[in-house]
Structure 1
């Protein structure tokens, strides 16, 4: 029973996350006349034919920025804790783990770095 509740809550949260833009577009479609008359920045300039689309673009941009900020906040909070053991027997294993590994395939390719090809052409 508890698993079903968790599954339904996760599905509901994923659905709402995906439908954020659809909610803004629905709000704009239902209130288009009010937005054009009251909220539009260009309501005094009828030759621009904005009809409230400036408000729609601002709302969509704000929604996108909020999602981007939340994603950055999650990414920036990742921390790694490294604990080195104090036992002398385990410390002797660490250099063996970090030592370079040579495979039989290490000499089967050549790499030639030529930085001149990566420069833009010179204008004379």
Structure 2
């Protein structure tokens, strides 16, 4: 299966906080900065071993490079969704004009006008 090595990576990214705080073998040694990469490496190795038994694993993939390529995983991996509540009317005529009121519009000093 082509996407089977991606499943442990997706699991690691989605459950990053839980894996780094609970399942990491080096959670008591914060100076190692493992953050659950040991758990990820075990799962990827297990998937590759299962696939190699079936004869579907590529031989030239280096597991160490794959794991350490994921050096930094953002705190919040879930993408933020931005919704716009504007309704666009698609027709032959589109009016793209809008008026913008500036409350802080520049007015010259009165002394400069009256002098």
Q: Scaled by the length of structure 2, what TM-score is found?
A: 0.46
Q: Scaled by the length of structure 1, what TM-score is found?
A: 0.43
Structure holding more helix per residue: 1
